[in-house]
Amino acid sequence: MMEWVRRSLAPSTWNSYNKVWCDWALLEQEMGVLDNSDDRLGLLAWQLSKDFDSNVSVSVIERKLSALAFLFKFRGWTDITKNFAIKQAVKGFKRGRRATDVRRPITLNILEGIFGQLWGISHSPFERLLFRVAFSWAFFGAFRISELVSPNRAGAGGVLREDIKREGQSLSIRIREAKTDKSGKGLMVELHGVEGFDACPVRCFDDYCRVRNEQGGIFLIHQDGSALSKFQFVAVLRRSLEGLKLAAAEYGSHSFRIGAATEAARWGLDETVIRRIGRWESNRFRTRPCRAWLLGHSYIHWAAQRATFHQADGQLGFQQAQVQLRWVSRRGLKWEEIVPLVVQKAKEFGPPDIIVIHAGGND
């Protein structure tokens, strides 16, 4: 029975839940909790208070509660994670905590730049073609890293060669184990050719297949047959971003998925289409608005006040769903004060995507 229960969740989700369950069992033992809902409720409230004080991320809190809810239901216990006090405490924590998502999207322009960097980073032409197809598919297929590559070089996950079909100018790729696949039947990803584009996923596939041997199993492999690992994927990605003079620490494997949603939204695709592209079950795919700052001295200060009198209400005609416009000013601001001001405001509001500086005036 347990094997079938385990298969109801994606392997990564099961492993994440299992860690929470082990920690909970140890906590119950240490605290001498009795087998009743009141004791468990008190223990959960105590644990959440510790997490809140430690400023644990909201996603970690939510994952922990999901794992415990699964455990309580499986054992036939009262699901205390749905207790009113617990739900309100978590809601208050979310509202009081300004969690800034610093993960940045990899756009089409950045993807092209990454491809250019691979010439100097790759150890061989084979490696360059390997990372080209990996990065191209990560973007155009909006793959989760666990769906695309193996967790290690030994090879135990990722896309399999026999699950890829080439049909005309498109590819059909079967994902055997996906996070959102509750039925366990697998999911299909369709990739189409992009004519005249160097990062075309079909072209990258063809180029890589010309140098890859015909062995089955893991598709993304090195020349020696070992699997491309998650660590290698992220390491080469960040080296490429550093070569482009971008803040590599603010990007990760998930940046391809964010970028896919961002570009799809820019093209005006409907939300249902975007959800289907990335295999999202909820609205979490929705990209945040572009953060733009108008920065300067008293001119910006007075312009901000004047803008609020108009119908744009300080947004200068931009829709709030697309652009979050912030007026950042300091009367008497000088050049040497700009960087400290930006750092200070970034800590307060989160880093911007665009800064427009009104230059000249005081010095």
Reported as half-sphere exposure (CB side, CA atoms, 13 A), residue 313 has a value of 3
Q: Do 164 and 235 share a domain, yes or no?
A: yes
- Cα 216 off chain centre by: 30
- Whether 346 is in a domain gets the answer yes
pLDDT in tens, 86-105: 998 888 888 766 545 556 78
Please, where are the H alpha helices in 141-226? 145-148, 201-211
Q: Do 233 and 147 share a domain, yes or no?
A: yes
C-alpha–C-alpha distance, residues 78 and 66, integer Å: 14
- Whether 280 is in a domain gets the answer no
Domain boundary among 249, 264, 279: 264
Residues 6+ apart with CB under 8 A from 22: none
Range of the domain at 306: 290-357
- Whether 204 is in a domain gets the answer yes
Give the confidence band of 257 by pLDDT, cuts at 50, 70, 90.
confident
Concatenated DSSP letters of 59-83: HHHHHHHHHHHHHHHHTT---GGG-
Burial (0-12, 13-18, 19+ Cβ within 10 Å), 353: middle
- 8 A C-beta contact, residue 295 and residue 329: yes
Measuring CA to CA, how many Å separate 281 from each of 126, 175, 285?
36, 16, 9
- Whether 103 is in a domain gets the answer no
Q: Do 117 and 199 share a domain, yes or no?
A: yes
Structure tokens at 208: 């890589």
* Averaged pLDDT, 212-218: 86
- What are the two backbone dihedrals, phi and then psi, of residue 11, each rounded to the nearest 5 degrees? -55, -40
Residues found in the chain = 363
C-alpha–C-alpha distance, residues 319 and 310, integer Å: 15
- Whether 285 is in a domain gets the answer no
Q: Do 186 and 298 share a domain, yes or no?
A: no
What pLDDT is stored for residue 136 in this prediction?
92
Taking phi over 0 as left and psi of -120 to 50 as alpha, with beta for the rest, 140 belongs to alpha
Q: Which of 227, 209, 208 is nearest to 217 (CA)?
A: 227
Mean pLDDT, all residues of the chain = 82
- Cα 139 off chain centre by: 12
pLDDT in tens, 111-166: 999 999 999 998 899 999 999 999 999 998 888 888 888 888 776 778 889 989 99
Q: Do 121 and 247 share a domain, yes or no?
A: yes
Please, where are the H alpha helices in 75-181? 84-96, 108-121, 125-140, 145-148
Number of domains in the chain: 3
Bigger pLDDT: 237 or 302? Answer: 237
